[in-house]
Amino acid sequence: MKTAVEIAEERADRWGHQLYAGRARAILERAFIALRSSTWVPIVTGFIEPVLYLLAFGYGMGELIGDVDSGRGTVDYAVFIAPGLLATSAMNGAIYDSTWNVFFKLNESKLYKGMLATPLGPLDVALGEITWALLRGLSYAIAFLAITAPLGLVPGVSAILAIPAAVFIAFGFASFGMAITSYFKTYQQMGMINIVLLPMFLFSGSLYPISVYPDWLEFLIQLFPSWHGIELVRDLWFGYWDSGTLLHLGYFCVMIVTGLYFTTRRLRNLFMR
Amino acid sequence: MNQGIDVAKIRSRGATYVAEARIAQMMKWKGIIAIVAIGNPLFYLVAIGIGIGVLVNENSGTSGTGGVEYITFIAPALLASAALTGALDEAMFPVMEGFKWRKLFYAINATPINPGQIVLGVFIGAIARVVFTVVCYWALLIAFGVVTIGQSWDVIPVTIFAAGAFAAVIMGITASVKNEDYFMTVLNRLIIMPMFLFSGTFFPLNTMPVFLQPIGWISPLWHATELGRYFSYGYSISGTMLLVHFSYLIVMMVAGFKLANRKFAERLAK
Amino acid sequence: MPESLISARGLTKKYGDFTAVDAIDFDVAKGESFGLLGPNGAGKSTTMRIIAATSQRSSGTISILGRDPEEHGPQIRAHLGVVPQQDNLDGELTVSENLFIYGRYFGLSKKFIQNKIEELLDFAQLQDKRDAKVEALSGGMKRRLTIARALVSEPDILMLDEPTTGLDPQARHILWDRLFRLKETGVTLVITTHFMDEAEQLCDRLVVMDKGKIMAEGSPLELIKQYSTKEVLEVRFGSDRNKEVAPILREMCSRIEELPDRILMYVEDGEALLEAITAKKLHPTTSLVRRSSLEDVFLRLTGRSLIE
Ligand SMILES: Nc1ncnc2c1ncn2[C@@H]1O[C@H](COP(=O)(O)OP(=O)(O)OP(=O)(O)O)[C@@H](O)[C@H]1O
Ligand SMILES: [Mg+2]
């Protein structure tokens, strides 16, 4: 049996060993234990939000709106918004998990303080938390597809690709969210996050095509990551590929890389205050 | 001797002190509260009102919204929804904080201030926030030309009243919950969210499948929205329904206060 | 000179313009029990966090087991068991799950931890609470669990930041006993405390800190010898008269301290002094002769009483 010291010494000469002890899975293990013992209610009910939106908007609003031009053919309003809601909920979940959740565990419950008093490094904590958030996002996406398919809202088998796409865009937001949180010290500053998110999500075309707006506003919206996320998931949902799809993918690749870069650089500022 | 401490005065003005403390607490958030109060209506009106309005208009004109523009139709509903959200914030968080997070209420209760006054004080604090939100929202609606001043001012007191009824109930419920661990998430997801989505905010309640409509009936937001529409643009509504809406909100207010008073007294006596 | 396990030179920590730890030097030898003593805000916890490699110093050097925490934080932390001043237990887990997952953070095997948990639950006297949520524990039980948790990795150095705050007298004595035994097995202890009896009991050597600086260093006995007299005479005249008689008393011995409720007189022979006072017909309402303690050292060095 190896002792704690021997385990830590094994990595002593590796590059980045101060940040990463190679044990992000210990954080995941903790999340699973917590799930079993106390956090299952909020986690299990987490998939419900986009479903409620779909019921309300798809069926209520759908009566008033009828069919819409999705840019990939004219479809029933409920079919149009389904992928948008999937993308929105994936992004929102990732943002919450990487901002408020991290902030709370840092400042209020001091949970990370305990973890970081062990040989674990900030990158173990960050990776573990992000992975856990993405696993949840993945199960929510699967649940969403499983609910919408029998309702006739899923156009084809290829829509299954929307699941990894949802996880992919969630990763982009989570990596960025943590970097942003590292700059914030007060609850008031954290409150600004929600304020920026509201217009971003309202305008990003989950509930209606942004072509209803004047060109300048449309252009502005096309800069938002949320718009790219929604469009990417919508493309795959409809089994539709074009240069735009690649652009959205590229956008998120860049976002993930920059987000991770800043998060890693700021990890000490974030976790070792 | 209690030199300089006028117990009788504290007794009689207890609620005012609690409300002042609540408002001082909110002032720490004044920037964000102000941005939310102005940004929220602005974004919702432009995004949903105009964005979805275009789609509605193309498809069914004004037939689905009782003959008015879509933006006019949702404006009073968004107003009510903002008011109730503000009330929710200021009724739920302070109660959680007071009993569980920072146990402030126990400290207050050790002074001559009694539990009923704490309830009233928190309630007044919530109303202050609601008044601010509603006035900002209404001013924006006027600026957008969605409603006119003369025709719609009475929507303000009605909406504030509805938000107050909601705040009272939320205070009562929050105080009743022993194990708050996940209460907020669950309440939000399983009760508040459906209430907001199925209360005829974005489309008339009767366009929903029948089995979903009862969610609206029990939701204070639906009653507030219907009243808001009636008072802001002359939406037609029968005298009976008017009475139903008002009675429902009054009952909520009274029941909410009763529950809150009882639960506060119980928990503080422990 | 025994092997120095922890060694700090000019160690400084600044928060913005504020200097919390101000160029301190100290050494801790292997197997030693080292205490940090000081009033609130002296910089004790800050120093503890730097040693524990969870807070970055602003300047100066520190080495723990011959290594710099900037370079080898994880390797250093693998040797440590940390009891922070404020419990940071995992509120979403039960008592035994807390111990389990903490061991996993160190990379220990499940089997090893499972055995260890039994031992630690006995140690913390929490066997019957093993499946309780942390929130359902009393303050003292949480404290005991935090201490048990720090032992899960069998650390070589145990960092205890006010370990017995919130413990009842019995639990305190049990803990002292356990810490003694750990020390016998070669574990090095670094302790901060506000309790003088605890410092005298537990610490081989200690430093007195105030405003980020080290005011004195030595064994409890040495410090008492150096900074106080053999005995102390405590006299009370009632709060109104204390002021009146103080000047007279000052004439009678080389050092007195006026506290709000009583006057302390530092002498070699307390009884003799008391007789002299009585002879002057200054009848104190109460009087007490006792041996000097760390409390007196503290008062001398910082001008403040520890427990006010
Ligand atoms: N994160 C921080 N940011 C700013 N100032 C801090 C921070 N942590 C500690 N300080 C300041 O540094 C000083 C020393 O604090 P520290 O916690 O080390 O004191 P202490 O000796 O442990 O006191 P106590 O006996 O109260 O625990 C205090 O003045 C404190 O306000
Ligand atoms: Mg301290």
| Helix/strand/coil for C168 | coil
- Residue ranges of C 94-133 with Cβ closer than 8 A to chain A: 94, 97, 100-102, 104-109, 112, 133
Q: What pLDDT score was predicted for residue B118?
A: 93
- Note whether residue B262 is domain-resident: yes
SS3 of residue C124 by DSSP: coil
Asked if A11 has any chain C CB less than 8 Å from its own CB, the reply is yes
Say which range, A34-48, A172-186, C154-168, has the weakest mean pLDDT.
Answer: A34-48
What DSSP character marks residue C3? P
- pLDDT of C307: 47
A273 has pLDDT over 80: no
Domain ranges of chain C: 4-219, 229-291
In the reported structure, the alpha carbon of residue C44 is separated from the centroid of ligand 1 by a whole-number distance in angstroms of 8
Question: Chain A to chain C, count of Cβ pairs less than 8 Å apart?
Answer: 115
Contact C106 A118 (CB under 8 A): yes
Q: Is residue B83 part of a domain?
A: yes
Would you call C231 helix, strand, or coil by DSSP? strand
Give residue B1's pLDDT band: very low, low, confident or very high (50, 70, 90). very low
Query: Which residues numbered 30-59 in A keep a CB inside 8 Å of some CB on C?
Result: 30, 33-34, 37-39
Count the Cβ atoms, other than its own, within 10 Å of residue B139.
Answer: 14
Interface residue C207 vs chain A (CB under 8 A):
no
Q: Give the pLDDT band of residue C252 (cuts 50, 70, 90).
A: confident
Residue B9 has pLDDT above 90, yes or no: no
For chain A, what is the mean pLDDT?
Answer: 90
- Confidence band, pLDDT 50/70/90 cuts, at residue B181: low
CA–CA dist A202, B46 (Å, integer):
9
β-bridge partners, A68: A75
Residue A1 burial (CB < 10 Å; 0-12/13-18/19+)?
Answer: exposed
Is the pLDDT at C12 greater than 80? The verdict is yes
Q: Which of A37, A111, A116 sits opposite C97 (nearest CB)?
A: A37
Q: Which two tokens stand for residue A40?
A: 């299952």
Q: H-helix or E-strand containing C8?
A: strand C4-15
CB atoms within 10 A of CB B247: 11
Write down the pLDDT at residue A247.
96
Tell the residue nearest (CA) to atom 10 of ligand 1.
C20
In this predicted structure, the answer to whether residue C80 has a pLDDT above a threshold of 90 is yes
Top mean-pLDDT range of A139-153, B133-147, B203-217, C293-307: A139-153
The residue behind tokens 């009636």 is B230
The number of beta carbons lying within 10 Å of the beta carbon of residue B19 is 22
Q: Are A1 and C109 in contact (CB under 8 A)?
A: yes
Q: Which of C36, C40, C45, C196 to mutate to test the pocket of ligand 1 (most atoms within 8 A of CB)?
A: C45
Lowest-pLDDT choice from A205-214, B111-120, C272-281: C272-281
Say yes or no to pLDDT of B182 above 80: no
Question: Please, which residues have CB within 8 angstroms of residue C83's CB and are 6 or more apart in sequence?
Answer: C146, C147, C150, C158, C159, C160, C161, C163
Residue B180 pLDDT > 70:
no
Domain assignment of residue B17, yes or no: no
pLDDT above 90 as % of chain A: 50
Q: A264's torsion region: left (phi>0), alpha (psi -120 to 50) or beta?
A: alpha
Share of chain B above pLDDT 90, in %: 43
- Residue C239: is it exposed, middle or buried by C-beta count within 10 angstroms (0-12/13-18/19+)? exposed
pLDDT in tens, B196-212: 889 999 999 988 888 88
Query: Which residues constitute the domain of residue B116?
Result: 22-268
What is the rounded distance in angstroms from the CA atom of residue A235 to the CA atom of residue A261? Answer: 28
Check pLDDT > 60 for residue B6. Answer: yes
Average pLDDT over residues A129-140: 92
Residue B4 banded pLDDT, cuts 50, 70, 90: low
Rounded to an integer, the average pLDDT of B174-181 is: 78
Examine residue B124 and state whether it is found in any structural domain, yes or no. yes
Q: How far apart are CA A227 and CA A219, in angstroms?
A: 11
Confidence of residue C109 (pLDDT cuts 50, 70, 90): very high
Provide CB contacts within 8 A for C131, sequence distance 6+.
Answer: C94, C95, C96
pLDDT tens digits along A62-109: 888 989 988 888 899 999 999 999 999 999 989 988 998 889 888 888
Angle subtended at Cα C76 by Cα C72 and Cα C77, rounded to the nearest 5 degrees: 115
Domain C4-219, CATH class in plain words: alpha beta
What's the confidence (pLDDT) of residue C152?
96
**What is the CATH architecture of C229-291?**
2-Layer Sandwich (3.30)
Q: What average pLDDT does chain B have?
A: 88
> Which tens digit of pLDDT belongs to each residue from B52-111?
999 999 888 888 888 898 999 999 999 999 999 999 989 998 988 888 877 888 888 888
pTM of the model: 0.85
Q: What is the pLDDT of residue B192?
A: 84
Regarding the beta carbon of C85 and ligand 1, being less than 6 Å apart is answered yes
pLDDT digits over C260-283, tens only?
888 888 988 888 888 888 888 888
Number of domains in chain B: 1
Minimal CA separation from A10 to chain B, in Å? 40
Q: For residue C43, how far is its CA from the centre of ligand 2 (angstroms)?
A: 7
Among B33, B193, B203, most A C-beta atoms within 10 A, so best to mutate, is: B203
ipTM: 0.87
Pocket of ligand 1 contains residue C15 by CB under 6 Å: yes
Asked if residue A143 has pLDDT above 50, the reply is: yes
Q: Considering the domain boundaries, does residue B261 fall inside one? A: yes
CB B79 within 8 A of CB B134: yes
Q: What angle do CA B76, B80, B86 make, to 5 degrees?
A: 145
Contacts of A68 in chain B (CB under 8 A): 55
Q: Does A152 touch chain B (CB under 8 A)?
A: no
Q: Is A4 in contact with C153 (CB distance < 8 Å)? A: yes
CA-nearest residue to B35 within chain A is A195
Distance from CA of A28 to the nearest CA of C (A): 10
Q: DSSP assignment, residue C293?
A: -
Q: Is C197 on the interface with A (CB under 8 A)?
A: no
User: B246 with B227: CB under 8 angstroms?
Assistant: yes
The three-state (H, E, C) secondary structure of chain A, written as one string: CCCHHHHHHHCCCCCCCCCCCCCHHHHHHHHHHHHHHHHHHHHHHHHHHHHHHHHHHHHHHHHHHCEEECCCCEEEHHHHHHHHHHHHHHHHHHHHHHCHHHHHHHHCCCHHHHHHCCCCCHHHHHHHHHHHHHHHHHHHHHHHHHHHCCCCCCCCHHHHHHHHHHHHHHHHHHHHHHHHHCCCCCHHHHHHHHHHHHHHHHHCCCCCCHHHCCHHHHHHHCCCHHHHHHHHHHHHHCCCCCHHHHHHHHHHHHHHHHHHHHHHHHHHHHHCC
Question: Is A203's Cβ below 8 Å from some Cβ in B?
Answer: yes
User: Does the beta carbon of C145 lie inside 6 Å of ligand 1?
Assistant: no
CA distance C66 to chain A (A): 14
Residue of B30, B36, B59 to mutate for A, most A C-beta atoms under 10 A? B59
* CA of residue C20 to ligand 1 center, whole Å: 6
The closest-lying atom of ligand 1 relative to the alpha carbon of residue C16 is 4
pLDDT at B3 over 70: no
pLDDT band at C25 (very low <50, low <70, confident <90, very high): very high
Residue B141 has pLDDT above 80, yes or no: yes
- Type of residue numbered B98: G
What value does the mean pLDDT take over residues B188-192? 83
Segment holding C170, helix H or strand E: helix C169-184
Do the Cβ atoms of C235 and C289 come closer than 8 Å? no
Do the bridges between strand C286-291 and strand C231-236 make them parallel or antiparallel, or are there none, so unpaired? antiparallel
**Rounded to 5 degrees, what angle do the CA atoms C21, C23, C26 make?**
95
Confidence of residue C308 (pLDDT cuts 50, 70, 90): very low
C85 touches chain A (CB under 8 A): no
In a domain, B4, yes or no: no
